Amino acid sequence: MSLLQPLAEFPDRRIFWVSGSDPAAYYVADQQADGVLVNAPPFDPALLAALEAERPLRYIFLPSRHGARDVERWRAASGAEVLATAAEAPAIEGTVDIVLDNKSRLTRTIDFLPLSGVTAGSCGMRLKNKPGAVFFGPALSPGGDGWPTLVFAADDHSLENRLFGALGIQDLAFEYAFTDEFDPGVTRYGPGAGAAVKDAVARVLDE
């Protein structure tokens, strides 16, 4: 199996899943931002080469502490900068180069969404230009139909924050959605994710 599995291609970027990664790691090969690795899997020189064959690795975005593996090895081998929120940084073993807040952005069309609740500083990344995509990290999980939805866990940091963040999802525009869980052939991610995710989350909130 190839180290990278293509998931979506937009006019200005391509999105890949890192095969077998858990939590799921994704690579955004972007014309403006270069390469953005979402979650850091165990370091592998062959994987780094595969990533950089698509676009030079420039950023490592950590939606939460759960996706932080071998951070310093990735930084040393690639020179990439690590991004995470201030609340997550103390729990990440390795350097966080850029501390994110709700005003942070990488480019005009890539910004970040606070989605705390699973952990204190869980965060999403949004690709704003159409068709639009959101990387929800651990904030959402695939439901029974494969679409991302709100799934509560006993070890959630804050139920209140999870509910508040879920309400904000209803205002987002996107066609693709990615989470920390990805099962090829089962997980659904788009197109059509915006309507499906909002409907799924609304059903949970109405229960």
**pLDDT for position 207:** 75
- CATH superfamily for 4-206 is Ribonuclease Z/Hydroxyacylglutathione hydrolase-like (3.60.15.10)
**pLDDT for position 67:** 97
**pLDDT for position 167:** 87
**Tokens of residue 133, six digits:** 């995509």
Per-residue 3-state assignment (H helix, E strand, C coil) for the chain: CCCEEEEEEECCEEEEEECCCCCCCEEEEECCCEEEEECECCCCHHHHHHHHHHCCEEEEECCCHHHECCHHHHHHHHCCEEEEECCCHHHCCCCCCEEECCCCEEECCEEEEECCCCCCCCEEEEECCCCCEEEEECCCEECCCCCEECCCCCCCCCHHHHHHHHHHHCCCCCCEEEECCCCCCCCCCCCCHHHHHHHHHHHHHHC
Domain spans of the chain, in order of start: 4-206
- What is the rounded CA–CA span in Å between residue 104 and residue 130? 20
Strand partners, 81: 59
Total length of the chain: 207
**pLDDT for position 206:** 86
Average pLDDT, consecutive stretches of 10 residues, N- to C-terminus, the chain (207 residues): 94 97 98 97 98 98 98 98 97 97 93 95 96 97 96 94 90 96 97 97 88
Q: Which of 22, 24, 23 is nearest to 7 (CA)?
A: 24
- On the 0-12 / 13-18 / 19+ scale of CB atoms within 10 A, 167 is exposed
What pTM value is reported for the model? 0.97
**pLDDT for position 134:** 98
Strand partners, 76: none
Strand partners, 17: 5, 26
Residue found by looking up tokens 């899997």 in the block = 41
Strand partners, 38: 26, 61
**pLDDT for position 102:** 84
**pLDDT for position 145:** 95
